Structure 1
């Protein structure tokens, strides 16, 4: 018997829905640039002009914070390290921590001033004490950005104040947020501090997600006339963590609404679904001249995807092999492939292996099989 290419369609556990492949077509936001990231995997779930470097405003202070965290991790700094406040830092305009000239402030308090109060003056204190100047600190930021894979970022200062060389993409900001979250878990609490007082001035955390939605953890807002209003937000719910980044909004109200809407979308519309786990039996292949008529097939690689529900609902799978398979068959042989499809995406193929051994028929059983084939009329014909 010559083998024939056999295709078996599998019924997957999907819900009815419209199968649109691109999440970009399924999510709406007023932000000019935006992104949604799944934090555990680093997978980007949605993007709108996500790779375009734009003025990041104070969202780039996350890079300043990351450099400090990195130096603490290396043992070159501690939270208790005192930094001196220069006149230049004291005179720095824009959002302020209200440092006092010719005093010393610990790294811990400066971090709170940067993250909670978005203090430009605190950033200058950090830059001067670590690198000697803003320009030298910016070089340090750029070096770290290259090392951490931030391909669409460049830095000219630690504050995010307007400069033609101060640029970040939404994708890079999300990558940086993930880096901060995973590499320095002992410092996560800084991003959700609700308020901070310095120089007898109490300022609330500007992040619109904190206190406004379940599981919000920070991270940083930004605003200049050039950039508009933006925010990097991270939230956790039931073991799932997502980052959203938006920018280019026209007001604090628009920023708040866009951030909350996109974060709600991140949790409500996207899910992680496992179609097959590693080692699962996915179907059967027909066997010729064997002790069994079929052999079970297993997949060694799990099929888990984090995507928009409507994309997942359009998934389909087929088992493809040249069959029927001729016995004897060893367990663990690759005899088929699983073709897995998602709407408008390239078909993925995964090898399938026999899960059991199938013995061949004995001599007399083969003779009997041959006689059955000889005296069985073709399908559709009567005796």
Structure 2
């Protein structure tokens, strides 16, 4: 692979107003078994600990169940006000986990079941929704695992819509981050379910386990669970305004010793991210960042860049020390489709890679004539 160094313009005031700061920021010291902090806008993991360690799948299972129900709502296979009759299988689930106290033969709407799943974390709500979407639990679990593969969750296996405490089901904080990003990206229309502080069903009031919804106005979701296997877990999303628009952080804390501890450690992690990193716009949509050589094409070069505005989070004071390195998949041989990946742009500060961004072709390059292809074939022999 061939490397080419690119230079890019950075707003002068960002350099001027940020004092020198080491890129190797000391990570916060959290009282939790594993944790992760991600900048949602730039899709960067800013800090983590034991984020690839396997844990029980209860949190990930319920979040995936919500994801798939949102998809069914989008596709018209179910509706929010659709009544669901509670089966004996659901009413007698008896996992020992949280529930919304569904009664055999009773009814609940899809909306109520989603609130029971997301706000209460109800195992019975998860199973009821799974059966409503797929007809039976087994078919729904197969769908969960297919969707996990599609999203890129590399270390997750689902066994039940409400999770599993044994070896049959597992996930990781890293995979939960992938899923949480998918929920926020694909189903923002349903974000209000995650910010709901409490609701009532059959006269029973149920409060959201994410206490940060009361404590910090910047926090607007996502999901809190606790179980003997995962201890206390919290996925929290928070947004703050900046000169470039909305900044959003996602924190994942697992293995905390109490509800109070997971709340405090999650808040500590979110504040650490907002306070120690700046968000900058590297490139605008369709801005050309390089024009590498193309072989056997209708054009001898191709314009490459990003098909969306590209943002990045950098440690405060590190903007002036940034470099970019384009690692290409050379040789580039036509045809090259517009939007196809050309390589990776690595952002480097003090010899440390802080982000890797996919670079795409900004134009279509068709194949050259027979003589043109022949000539480039001969040239490649001597390259």
Structure 1 equivalent of residue 160 of structure 2: 157
Structure 2 equivalent of residue 190 of structure 1: 193
Query: Given the two structures, how large is their TM-score scaled by the length of structure 2?
Result: 0.70
Query: What does 1:27-38 align with in structure 2 at a 5 Å threshold?
Result: 27-38=28-39
Structure 1 equivalent of residue 273 of structure 2: 266
Structure 2 equivalent of residue 305 of structure 1: 312
Distance 1:156 1:307 in 2: 39
Instruction: Name the CA shift for 1:20/1:89 in 2 (closer, same or farther; >3 Å).
Output: same
Query: Given the two structures, how large is their TM-score scaled by the length of structure 1?
Result: 0.70
Deviation at 1:341, TM superposition (A): 4.9
Distance 2:286 2:58 in 1: 49
* Structure 2 residue corresponding to 1:228, chosen from 228, 231, 251: 231
SS state at 1:51 partner? coil
Deviation at 1:96, TM superposition (A): 0.9
Structure 2 equivalent of residue 95 of structure 1: 98
Runs of 5+ in structure 1 lacking a partner? 1-9, 281-299, 319-338, 349-383
Residues 289-328 of structure 1: CA distance to partner in whole angstroms, max 9, x if unpaired?
A: xxxxxxxxxxx99995312326x2672569xxxxxxxxxx
Structure 1 equivalent of residue 330 of structure 2: none
Deviation at 1:157, TM superposition (A): 0.6
Residues 183-240 of structure 1: CA distance to partner in whole angstroms, max 9, x if unpaired?
A: 1121110101110111211011111211111211111112111211111111111111
Query: What does 1:245-324 align with in structure 2 at a 5 Å threshold?
Result: 245-274=252-281, 305-309=312-316, 312=318, 315=321
Contact 1:59 1:221 in 2 (8 A): no
Contact 1:155 1:166 in 2 (8 A): yes
Runs of 5+ in structure 2 lacking a partner? 1-9, 288-304, 325-345, 356-383
Instruction: Name the CA shift for 1:118/1:142 in 2 (closer, same or farther; >3 Å).
Output: same
Work out whether 1:40 is the aligned partner of 2:41. yes
Alignment: residue pair count = 299
Instruction: Name the CA shift for 1:116/1:279 in 2 (closer, same or farther; >3 Å).
Output: closer
Contact 1:269 1:309 in 2 (8 A): yes
Instruction: Name the CA shift for 1:133/1:313 in 2 (closer, same or farther; >3 Å).
Output: same
Deviation at 1:347, TM superposition (A): 11
Contact 2:220 2:238 in 1 (8 A): yes
Deviation at 1:182, TM superposition (A): 1.8
Instruction: Name the CA shift for 1:316/1:46 in 2 (closer, same or farther; >3 Å).
Output: closer
Deviation at 1:69, TM superposition (A): 0.4
Distance 2:285 2:78 in 1: 44
Contact 1:59 1:222 in 2 (8 A): no
Larger Rg: 1
Residues 86-113 of structure 1: CA distance to partner in whole angstroms, max 9, x if unpaired?
A: 1121122321111121122211110011
Instruction: Name the CA shift for 1:317/1:247 in 2 (closer, same or farther; >3 Å).
Output: closer
Structure 2 equivalent of residue 345 of structure 1: 352
Structure 2 equivalent of residue 71 of structure 1: 72
Structure 2 equivalent of residue 334 of structure 1: none
Deviation at 1:131, TM superposition (A): 2.5
Instruction: Name the CA shift for 1:346/1:101 in 2 (closer, same or farther; >3 Å).
Output: closer
Work out whether 1:141 is the aligned partner of 2:144. yes
Structure 2 equivalent of residue 105 of structure 1: 108
Distance 1:130 1:88 in 2: 15
SS state at 1:211 partner? helix
Instruction: Name the CA shift for 1:129/1:342 in 2 (closer, same or farther; >3 Å).
Output: same
Instruction: Name the CA shift for 1:317/1:219 in 2 (closer, same or farther; >3 Å).
Output: closer
Residues 5-62 of structure 1: CA distance to partner in whole angstroms, max 9, x if unpaired?
A: xxxxx995463334143x5x43332222111111123222112121223114335311
Instruction: Name the CA shift for 1:228/1:314 in 2 (closer, same or farther; >3 Å).
Output: farther
Deviation at 1:84, TM superposition (A): 2.0
* Pairwise CA RMSD: 3.1
Structure 2 equivalent of residue 352 of structure 1: none
Runs of 4+ in 1 over 6 A off after TM superposition: 275-280, 300-303
Distance 1:183 1:172 in 2: 16
Distance 1:271 1:316 in 2: 13
